[in-house]
A and B are shown apart, each in its own frame.
Chain A
Amino acid sequence: MSTTLRLDGREIPFTPGQTIMDAALAVGVYIPHLCHNPDYAPHGSCRVCMVGVNGRLVSACTTAALDGMTVESNTETIAATRRSIVQLLFVEGNHVCPACERSGSCQLQAVAYYVGMLSPHFPQCFPQRPVDASHPDFMIDFNRCILCELCVRASRDHDHKRVFAVSGRGLASHLVIDSPSGLLGDSQFAASDRAAQVCPTGAILPKHRGYEQPIGQRLYDQAPISVVGDLRAQPGGD
C-alpha cells in the first residue's frame, strides 16, 4: 500500500519516515529552505520552509509526512511569511550582495529572489563582526553567517572534527571555531573538509580565487533556485 500526501492539491507519494521536505524534493517540488541539506539531519532553525498543515504553520524539513496529509505551500500568505523571515535574516547580518563574491551562486540571495524580497524592510542591525582570514586556504566572513549550522553539522557528522559551534544566545548568537585561539587557522579545518563546501551564503569562502565565473553567468543568474535547486545539487558546486 502506498502512502501519499496532498501538496498544493497535488498527490505526492512518500515512504513512511520521510518528512514533507523529503517527499517534495523527491518529486522535484521546490519548498524554499536554507538550513536544510538532505545530507544532514534536519535542523528546523531557519524557518524558511514553513508550510501550512491543519491551519498551522510547520517547518517542512522537520515535520513527518503522514498518509492523507494536506499541505499548503504555494499560497500568498505563506509566501509573505517566508519573505518576512528571509528579511529578518538579511537585517540581522551584513549582506552586501553587490560586493559579495558569492553573488549569483548564493542560496540566501536566490531564496530571497524566489520569495519576492525587494527590500530588507526591517531596520538593519548592523552587527560588528570581524572577518577571520587566518587560514591559508579559506576565510570566514561572519557578517554573512545566517546560523544555519550546516558547517557545524558537516564538520561534526561528516568530517568528524567539530571545528564549528554556535555560541552565545539571542541576537548575540554567533559561530565560533574550535581552536585554542578561536581562529580558523589554528583549527583542524582543511580545504578538503565537507564543512568547506556546505555554506549556503558567502560566509565560508575559498581564498586565492575570486570571480572566476563572471557575475551574470552564475548558477542563479541563469535560472531560479526553484528550478536548479541547491548548490550542492550542482556538479562541481558553483
Chain B
Amino acid sequence: MGEPVNSQVQAFVARSLDLRGLAPEQLLQHLIAVQQQFGWVPPAAVHALAAALDVAHAQVRAAVAFYAFLHDQPRGDFDILFSDNITDRMLGNQRLVGLLAERLGLGLNETRADGRVTIGLTSCTGMCDQGPALLVNGQAVTALTAARVDRIADLVDEGVPLARWPGAFFRVADNIRRCGLLLSNPVTDGASLRRLLENGADTALTELERSGLRGRGGAGFTTALKWRFCREAEGGDRTVPRFVVCNADEGEPGTFKDRVLLTSYTDLVFEGMTLCAGVIGARLGFLYLRGEYRYLVPHLESVLARRRAEGLLGKGILGQPDFDFDIAIHLGAGAYICGEESALIESLEGKRGVTRKRPPFPVISGYQDRPTVVNNVETFLAAARVVQWGGYWLRGEGTDQSAGSKILSVSGDCARPGIYEYPFGTPVHRVLTDCGAGEVQAVQVSGAAGTTLAPAEFDRLLAFEDLPTAGSFMIFDRSRDLLELVRNFAAFFAHESCGFCTPCRVGTALLRNLVEKVAAGQASAHDLQELRDIGPLMRQASYCGLGHTAPNHVLNTLDKFPAIYQRHLRSADYSPSFDLDAALGCARALTGRDGVADHVEEEA
C-alpha cells in the first residue's frame, strides 16, 4: 500500500490505543489493526506501540516476525494468500495459484512493482469442504475455480475495493451432513445458566462428572476435573481473578467444525463459557479466534451484544447481582502453535506464541498467571447441554471412556464433504460410507498431527481408547500419491514450529528437506533411515505436543505405505545431500561463465 507518512501511522496507533487500551496484553491486537490498515507494520507503528505500551522495541519486532499475518515490509493493496492444505492441493490450488500469478504478472511471494498485489501461500484456512480457498486482506474466499480466479484478477487490476467484490465469493457454507446429540438443536435461551443458578456450582460439576465429558480439542482431559481444579485453585480464594478462554484457534489442517459451531451454534458456545465462568468464578473470558476466521467477528460481536441485552452476559446475569461475566474476542494472526493452550495464553498476553513450561498448568497459573480454564469450542457447547439436560444425557451415547458424540470435519476425496456428528465408538468405514468415499487408499485422522490409516485399519473406532481425534478427517483415494501428503505436512510443520526447542526447530526442517530429497528422486535408503531416526528423536525429546506429533505422518507412512518412498529412491545405499554442480553456481555467476565446460558432469 506504499509508504504511509509517519503522522498517519501515529494517528492510527493513537486511535487504536484509545479503542483497545494501553495494556501490554493488547499488543498483538494493535499490531493486527495496524497490519489491516496499512498492509504492513511500519517502523513508526513499532516505535509508537513500544512507547505507549511500555514494551521493548525488540518485543514488538519479535511479535511481528513470529505471526505469519504480520509483516515488516509492505504487502500489496490486495494481499492474497492461497490456503495450501493438502485438501486444497487435491482440489487443484496450485494450478489456480499459477493462473492468478500469470494473469497479474508476478511470482509467488512477490509484491507487484506497482504495489497493487501480493500473492502467497498460507496454512489451512479451514475451508477444506469448499476449497480451494484463499484469504484476501484476511477475508475468506471459497470454492475457487479458474473462472473465479480470472474474475479476481480483473477486480485486482481494476482496483475494486473488497466491499464491492461479488458477495458470492465470500459465501461460507456450513455443510452440516449428519446431526447427533449436539448439532440437532442450535437453540438455547440460557437454560443451563438457570440450572446453574437454581442448583449451584457443585451440582453443575456433579453433572459434568457424571457425563464423563472430555475435552474435544484432542487431548481429552476430563472437563469437570479441569473446571474443579480451577475453581479450587489458590485455596478457592474468590478474590483471585479467574479467566475462561475458548480456544477457537482451529488450526489443525483439515479441521473446520469450530467455524460451523461459531457460525450457527454461537449462543451455545458463549453460554458454555458463561456457565464455566459461573462455576469457577470468572468475570472475564476470551474467545481466541484464529485470524483466518476474522470474517466471523461482526457476527460474534452481534451475538455477544444480544446476549448482553438479554441479561445472559455482562453485569448481573439473569438478575443475579454477583454474577458478572463478559467475553472479549482476541484475534490470532497465523500461528498453528497458538492452538496449544499455553502458547495461546502467551498470545492472549500479546506475546509470541511460545509454549510455556508445564506444570504449572493453566488451571493453576494461566492468563496473567491466574487460574484459567482453556477449552475447545465444542467442549463449551457440550458442557452447556450437559448442565441443561443432565450427565446421563451425554452418557446415552459413546463408549466407556468416550461419552457422547464427536463432530468431524470430513474433507478430501468424497462425494459429500462437510460436518458429521457421530457417537464415539463409530468405525472409520462408517464415516467413509456416509460421506460417499470410494476406492479409499488412506485416511488421515485428527489432522497433520494425527494418524495415517491404511484400509486394513478402517474398522478402528473413533474414540479416546482407540483413535482419539480433534475432528479432522481427510480422505485420500487410490489416484493420489501419498508422498504429496507427506510433503505438504512436512512443510507445514517446518513453517509452524515455534522454534523454542532444538528437536522441533531443527528436526522439522530436516524432515522437510529429507522428504523433498525423496520427492526429487535424490534420496537413498540411508535417507529413509534418517527419517526413521529423526522422527522418534522429535517425538521423545521435543518440548511440547507440536514436536511430539510433527513426525507422525512420516513414521506412519514409512510403516504403512513404504512404496511411496521406495519408488522415488535413487540408490539403495547412499547419495549425498551435497550437490557439487549447484554449489558451483555462485562461482559461475561471479565469473559470468555458464558453458558446458563450467558444469560438473553427473556421475552415472
A42 touching B357 in the complex, CB below 8 Å, given contacts A47-B503, A123-B510: yes
Specify which of A47, A85, A89, A147 lies most central, judged by the most chain B CB atoms within 10 Å of its CB: A47
CB distance A180 to B494 under 8 Å? no
Question: Is B561 in contact with chain A by the CB < 8 A criterion?
Answer: no
- CA separation between A46 and B541, bound complex, in Å? 10
Given contacts A44-B543, A84-B534, A169-B496, 20 further A-B contacts (CB under 8 A): A42-B357, A46-B501, A47-B541, A47-B542, A50-B541, A56-B540, A64-B359, A84-B533, A88-B506, A92-B505, A123-B510, A123-B513, A123-B578, A147-B505, A169-B499, A173-B498, A176-B61, A176-B62, A177-B58, A178-B59
Number of A-B contacts (CB under 8 A): 124
- With a cutoff of 8 Å between Cβ atoms, the chain A residues found around residue B352 in the complex are 166-167, 169
Query: Which of A123, A166, A170 sits near B495, CB closer than 8 Å?
Result: A170
State A162–B495 Cα separation when bound (angstroms): 27
Residue A62, interface by CB 8 Å: yes
Residue numbers in B under 8 Å from A179 (CB-CB): 57
Is the CB–CB distance between B501 and A91 below 8 Å? no
Q: Please state if A165 and B495 are interface contacts (CB–CB under 8 Å).
A: no
Could you give, for residues 56-99 of chain A, a 1 whenever the CB lies within 8 Å of some chain B CB and a 0 otherwise?
11010010100000000000000001001100110110000000
Tell me the bound Cα distance from A177 to B357 in angstroms.
24
- Indicate if A235 sits at the interface (CB-CB under 8 A): no
Report the minimum CB–CB distance from A40 to chain B (whole Å). Answer: 13
* Interface residue? B370 (CB, 8 A): no
Smallest Cβ-Cβ distance to B64: which chain A residue: A167
- Contact A122 B58, beta carbon cutoff 8 Å: no
Q: Nearest B residue to A173 by beta-carbon distance?
A: B499
Whether A85 and B537, one on each chain, are in contact in the complex, defined by CB atoms closer than 8 angstroms, is yes
Contact flag A88-B56 (CB < 8 Å), given A42-B357, A169-B352: no
Give the chain A neighbours of B500 by CB distance below 8 A. Answer: 45, 173
Instruction: Scan residues 42-100 of chain B and give those whose CB is less than 8 A from a CB of chain A.
Output: 47, 56-59, 61-62, 65-66
A93 and chain B: residue at smallest CB distance: B506
Inter-subunit contact B503/A162 (CB<8 Å): no
Residues of chain B lying within 8 A (CB to CB) of residue A173: 498-500, 505
* 8 Å CB contact of A169 from B56, B65, B513, B541: B65
Q: Please name all residues of chain B whose beta carbon is closer than 8 Å to the beta carbon of A89 when the two chains form the complex.
A: 502, 506
In the bound complex, what is the Cα–Cα distance between A178 and B61 (angstroms)? Answer: 9
Closest partner residue, chain B, to A42 (CB atom): B357
Secondary structure dominating the interface of B? helix
Q: Per-residue CB proximity of A155-196 to B under 8 Å, as 1/0?
A: 000000010111111111100111110100000000000000
Q: How far is the CA of A165 from the CA of B59 in the complex (A)?
A: 7
* Pick from B499, B503, B537: contact of A172, CB under 8 Å: B499
With both chains docked as a complex, state the minimum distance between the C-beta of B67 and any C-beta of chain A, in angstroms. 8
For A88, the chain B residues whose CB sits under 8 A away are: 502-503, 506-507, 510
Assess whether A125 is interfacial by the CB under 8 Å rule.
yes
Q: Are the C-beta atoms of A167 and B66 separated by less than 8 Å?
A: yes
Q: Are B499 and A147 in contact (CB under 8 A)?
A: yes
B residues 450-506 in Cβ contact with A at 8 Å: 494-503, 505-506
Chain A residues positioned under 8 Å from B530 (CB to CB): 122
Distance in Å from the Cβ of A125 to the closest Cβ of chain B?
Answer: 7
A45-B502, A88-B507 in contact; A170/B494 too (CB < 8 A)?
yes
Residue pair B65, A171 in contact (C-beta under 8 Å): no
B513: nearest residue on chain A (CB-CB)?
A123
Going nearest first, the 6 A-B pairs with the smallest beta carbon separation are A173-B499, A178-B58, A167-B62, A165-B58, A88-B506, A170-B497
Binding site for A on B (CB under 8 A): 47, 56-59, 61-62, 65-66, 335, 337, 352, 357, 359, 494-503, 505-510, 513, 530, 533-534, 537, 540-543, 577-578
Can you spell out 7 A-B residue pairs with CB atoms less than 8 angstroms apart? A88-B503, A162-B59, A165-B56, A169-B497, A169-B498, A176-B61, A178-B58
A177 to B62, CA, bound (A): 10
Contact of A167 among B58, B495, B502, B508 (CB under 8 A): B58
CA distance A150 to B120 in the complex (A): 36
A163 smallest CB distance to B (angstroms): 8
When C-beta atoms are compared, the residue in chain B nearest to A92 turns out to be: B506
- The chain A residue sitting closest to B67, CB to CB, is A169
Chain A residue with the shortest CB-CB distance to B578: A123
A125 touches B58 (CB 8 A): no
- List the A side residues contacting B61 at CB < 8 Å: 167, 176, 182
**Considering only CB atoms, which chain B residue lies closest to A176 in the complex?**
B58
| Distance, CA A164 to CA B537, complexed state (A) | 30
CA distance A182 to B62 in the complex (A): 11
Selected from A42, A169, A170, A180, the residue in CB contact (under 8 A) with B57 is A180
Measured CA separation A176–B57 after assembly (Å) = 10
B238 to chain A, nearest CB (A): 27
Residue of B nearest to A64 (CB): B359
Query: In the assembled complex, which residues on chain A have CB atoms less than 8 Å from the CB atom of B577?
Result: 123
Check A84 against B58 for contact (C-beta < 8 Å): no
Interchain CB contact under 8 A, B499 and A171: yes
Are B58 and A171 closer than 8 Å at their CB atoms?
no
The CA-CA distance from A169 to B58 in the complex, in Å, is 14
What residues on A are CB-neighbors of B335 within 8 Å?
A: 169
A47 and B497 in contact (CB under 8 A), knowing A164-B58, A168-B62, A169-B65? no
* Residues of B close to A164: CB separation below 8 A: 58
Contacts of B534 in A (CB 8 A): 84
Q: Are A171 and B56 in contact (CB under 8 A)?
A: no
In the bound complex, CA of A123 to CA of B579 (Å): 12
B526 to chain A, nearest CB (A): 12
Residues of B within 8 Å of A172, CB to CB, are 65, 499
Give the residues in chain A near B502, CB-CB below 8 Å. 45-48, 85, 88-89, 92, 146
Closest A residue to B68 by beta carbon equals: A169
In the bound complex, residues from chain A placing their C-beta under 8 Å from that of B47 are 180
**Bound CA span A170–B505, Å:** 5
A87 to B491: give the CA distance in the assembly, Å.
Answer: 22
Q: Which residue of A lies closest to B353 (CB)?
A: A169
**A85 & B510 in contact (Cβ 8 Å cutoff):** no
Is there an interface contact between A162 and B541, defined as CB atoms closer than 8 Å?
no
- Minimum Cβ distance to chain A for residue B205 (Å): 28
Once the chains bind, are A168 and B513 in contact (CB under 8 Å)?
A: no
Q: How far is the CB of B122 from chain A (nearest CB, A)?
A: 14
The residues of B that contact A44 with a CB separation of less than 8 Å are 357, 501, 543
CA distance A164 to B62 in the complex (A): 11
A92 surroundings in chain B (CB, below 8 A): 502, 505-506
CA distance A59 to B359 in the complex (A): 13
Cα distance, A47 to B506, chains bound together (Å): 12
A81/B58 contact (C-beta < 8 A), A170-B495, A180-B47 known: no
CA distance in complex: A170, B499 (Å): 4
B56, B498, B501, B578: the one contacting A47 at CB < 8 Å is: B501
